[in-house]
Amino acid sequence: MTGSHVTRAPCAAPRGFKPAPGTSVIAIRRWRRESVSQSDYLFTSESVSEGHPDKVCDRISDAIVDAFLAEDPLARVALETLATTNFVVLAGEVRGPDSLTHERLKEIARTAIREIGYEQRGFHWKDAEIISHVHSQSADIAQGVDAADNKDEGAGDQGIMFGYACTETEHLMPAPIAYAHAILKSMAEARHAGESAFGPDSKSQITLRYVDGKPVGATSVVVSTQHAEALSQAEVRELVRPHVLKVLPEGWMCPEDEFYVNPTGRFVIGGPDGDCGLTGRKIIVDTYGGAAPHGGGAFSGKDPTKVDRSAAYAARYVAKNIVAAGLADKCVIQVSYAIGVSKPLSIYVNTHGTGRVDETRLAKVVGEVVDLSPRGIREHLQLSRPIYARTSSYGHFGRAPEADGGFSWERLDLVDALKKAFGA
């Protein structure tokens, strides 16, 4: 069934608006507070690279999901990875081909570490110890999820999932997280091409100034990157600078004294050797950088029957198509599920005052133009394919759809149906 939207606080008054004579001091202060907070503000998002300890774990877990789906599109995987100094632990539940033995899983993990680029004394793909405690999926969970007789495929767990889109960037993503990702991706490409002395582990953080609700420039940029021991902090700063300038729009660079590169002064020991990593600890980096709500469930290591992953992808898909259709400039979608139940329990739409159509009607239309049951999502977006290792770094959203079905949730093929539903 469809849930209606909640009542929101009034939108900020337009620029230039003046309270009527006789308005109370308290009301004027409230108006000023709301006007500033909702239209002129600073907002910050961060990203982490593929070599960050948590992202190493996400990559390994998703590489194993891909291996199972490549051999059996209906395989079930819930795989967690822990990584520390030259040591990796694989744990979780699977149902799939017997050919994916513990030894094969360990080899997949080793390959992922090599592809990221770890060949350092404290974490090396060749000699890291890898152990596997992966076992068969719980029969109780399988019973709830599997289709049988008149029962459709159920959700792999209860939960709430959110999707978001806005007009701030070409790919309808919030600008801070989009630029934070792009800086690190540019640096990684240079590293893999042998054009820089960066190490695999790095982080970025961007603060943007918003005026009238739109980003206009960076007030600070922070980049911390692992580097060759011989490099000074000043040298690393100049290696990072061109990647930031390439990514940010012209004139958006922050003041020089707000450009922070390796603020501790040294970052030679990195990756799991410097800090323990776990699957699923970077969920805000994976989504919208904090610009939208998050349901709490991680994506990596999960096959598409897990609505933590598939329904979050579907919610982004719907939100992006709503914005691309011109029905709103900003859109949040929430869907909720119960374990073993096929239909979503609720669909919620909030356009934050930017909508050009009724939100209650929009929520109903969403349920009509796309099947948001676990099976419906999986089949419509063709998620039962080995397309997940590539999602494990630089964001699951805002990426271009790929020919083999990767990032299918970024397609814009609902636009016409949404416009037609509203006579547009």
Known binding-site residues equal: 52, 54, 80, 93, 137, 201-203, 266-267, 275, 281-282, 298, 302, 306
One-letter amino acid at 177 equals I
State both tokens at 166. 């806005």
DSSP-derived 3-state class of residue 396: coil
DSSP-derived 3-state class of residue 7: coil
State both tokens at 255. 């003041």
Question: How far is 146 from 133, CA to CA, in rounded Å?
Answer: 24
Question: How far is 255 from 258, CA to CA, in rounded Å?
Answer: 5
Half-sphere CA count of 320, side-chain side, radius 13 A: 25
Question: How far is 7 from 371, CA to CA, in rounded Å?
Answer: 26
Question: How far is 78 from 265, CA to CA, in rounded Å?
Answer: 39
State both tokens at 316. 């982004």
For 94, phi then psi, to 5°, come to -140, 160
For the beta carbon of residue 392, count every other beta carbon within 10 angstroms.
28
Binding-site entries for ATP: 52, 201-203, 266-267, 275, 281-282, 298, 302
One-letter amino acid at 258 equals E
Binding-site entries for Mg(2+): 54
Instruction: Give the Å distances, CA to CA, from 63 to 111, 128, 170, 201, 263.
Output: 9, 17, 29, 19, 33
Burial of 56 (0-12, 13-18, 19+ CB in 10 A): buried
Burial of 186 (0-12, 13-18, 19+ CB in 10 A): middle
Q: Which of 314, 302, 233 is nearest to 267 (CA)?
A: 233
3-state helix, strand, coil split of the chain in percent (to 5) is: 35, 25, 40
Binding-site entries for K(+): 80
Binding-site entries for L-methionine: 93, 137, 275, 306
